[in-house]
Amino acid sequence: EVAMLEVGATNVGSIVQSFVLGRDYAKGDEKGLFAFGGSCVITIFQKDRIAFDADVLAQSADYIEIYAKMGDRLGAAPH
């Protein structure tokens, strides 16, 4: 299971949710959007369920913000 939290920061008028509770979604399916302005989505995984890519870990260790767009790879679930 994955928890997703939308954060409406400065200049975000609202967060529009378009998902249907109980429906399964595939990677890349729309579940909502930020109205006016940018913001961030926090994704929380169970411990040791995601292996983050080396570049993501290096930037995080140096406290560098990571700019990622939908579809950008940040890591993978180990098998």
Query: In the chain, what are the domain boundaries?
Result: 2-72
pLDDT for position 10:
66
Task: Please tell me the pTM assigned to this model.
Answer: 0.54
pLDDT tens over the chain, length 79 residues: 788 887 766 666 677 888 888 888 888 888 887 776 556 778 899 988 999 999 999 999 998 888 888 789 999 998 7
Beta-strand runs (E) in 1-79: 2-7, 14-17, 32-35, 40-45, 51-52, 75-76
